[in-house]
Amino acid sequence: MKLYTQLYDFKKLPRAVVTQGTFDGVHAGHKKILSKLCDRAKQLNGESVVLSFFPHPRMVLFPHDESIKLINSLDENIELLSRAGIEHLIVLEFNQKIANYTALHFVRDILINTIGAKHLIVGYDHRFGHNREGSFTNLTDYASLYDFTLEQINEVDINDITVSSTKIRKAILQGDMETASSYLQHHFSIQGMVTEGNKLGRTIGFPTANIKIIEAYKIIPADGVYAVYVTVDDTRFIGMLNIGNRPTINGITRVIEVNIDNFDANIYHKKIRVELVKRIRDEQKFSTLEDLKKQLLIDRQTVKEILNSKG
């Protein structure tokens, strides 16, 4: 996959098969569109192109709304899109100039004159252009004007529930990782740098790696303890993750810390990836550290049973 961050780096294609969107989470619905994109590119002897934007348009249009959180960081989204088999990924900076493009100018100047779109694939709810004025009806009109063909993907349903990034974010915020995973078709994950903590976990036999998430816009699941997979230097381990204020030691700051099973290497300042599989309990306050240790022993066994059952 070739990645572009500026339109002037992209050489206009003779037969571009294009889809466009933010693709936050790269969920089941997105994957259906991407699969169709790759299939159509082969059938039409063209090349597949995904046009995306970052920051998310809402982050630019509502800069003071700190409630806007995304499922994936930009790097995570690029990685997932690269796995979809597409040939070209354009990630443009979304700014006020882009926001002010009319639907007509967006199609003419970017999709047609710059990318060379000959076939366009969109989702059932696709909107584009200034104030989201553009719709599938507009695209139908432009298709005859600019000589491209058009295809709309119907709603994607899992168990009769429409898949959307909004519903996935809601599940994550509730700690419902199984629902999130079913919609995403992969585990929700977080990535961050390991920083030094107070090393209290070592004293009770459960050393933890404190994870610092760089991206302030990254969505963080509900407080609690989770069964997780942890990837360090391309090696995958099992572990248990805690998100919360650590009430047993009267903690104040919300932290994200993971205990990696059968692992004792120094990984300070390394970037690790944690895939959240299932939330196993709420964060609790224990009377003593010994009581906490007893619960963690139970949690460790629970985590192993959950992850072993998933192979």
SS3 (DSSP) at 205:
coil
Going by pLDDT thresholds of 50, 70 and 90, the confidence category of residue 128 is: confident
Going by pLDDT thresholds of 50, 70 and 90, the confidence category of residue 176 is: very high
Kindly tell me if the per-residue pLDDT of 196 is higher than 80: yes
Kindly tell me if the per-residue pLDDT of 133 is higher than 70: yes
CA–CA distances in Å: residue 284 to residues 201, 204, 246, 281, 301: 15, 17, 8, 9, 18
Distance CA 297, CA 110 (A): 57
| Domain membership of residue 133 as a residue range | 2-162
Kindly tell me if the per-residue pLDDT of 310 is higher than 80: no
User: Torsions phi, psi of 192, nearest 5?
Assistant: -170, 175
Tell me whether residue 44 is in a domain: yes
Residue 157: per-residue pLDDT: 63
Question: Do 61 and 141 reside in the same domain of the chain?
Answer: yes
Tell me whether residue 290 is in a domain: yes
Residue 158: per-residue pLDDT: 62
Tell me whether residue 176 is in a domain: no
How confident is the model over 115-123, as a mean pLDDT? 95
| Top-confidence residue, 298 or 203 | 298
User: Torsions phi, psi of 175, nearest 5?
Assistant: 80, 15
Query: With b meaning 16 or more CB within 10 Å and e meaning fewer, what string describes 136-171?
Result: eebbeebbeebebeeeebeebeeeeeebbbeebbeb
**pLDDT tens-place string over residues 232-243:** 999 999 999 999
How confident is the model over 132-138, as a mean pLDDT? 86
Strand partners, 281: 225
Kindly tell me if the per-residue pLDDT of 153 is higher than 90: no
Kindly tell me if the per-residue pLDDT of 57 is higher than 70: yes
Going by pLDDT thresholds of 50, 70 and 90, the confidence category of residue 27 is: very high
**pLDDT tens-place string over residues 65-78:** 888 899 999 999 99
- C-alpha gyration radius of the chain: 22
Going by pLDDT thresholds of 50, 70 and 90, the confidence category of residue 140 is: very high
How confident is the model over 215-240, as a mean pLDDT? 96
Tell me whether residue 123 is in a domain: yes
Tell me whether residue 168 is in a domain: no
Tell me whether residue 173 is in a domain: no
| Top-confidence residue, 188 or 264 | 188
CA–CA distances in Å: residue 126 to residues 106, 186, 303: 14, 24, 40
Question: Do 152 and 204 reside in the same domain of the chain?
Answer: no
How many distinct structural domains can be found in the chain?
A: 2
CATH code (residue 297): 2.40.30.30
Question: Do 90 and 23 reside in the same domain of the chain?
Answer: yes
| Top-confidence residue, 43 or 246 | 43
CATH code (residue 120): 3.40.50.620
Going by pLDDT thresholds of 50, 70 and 90, the confidence category of residue 204 is: confident
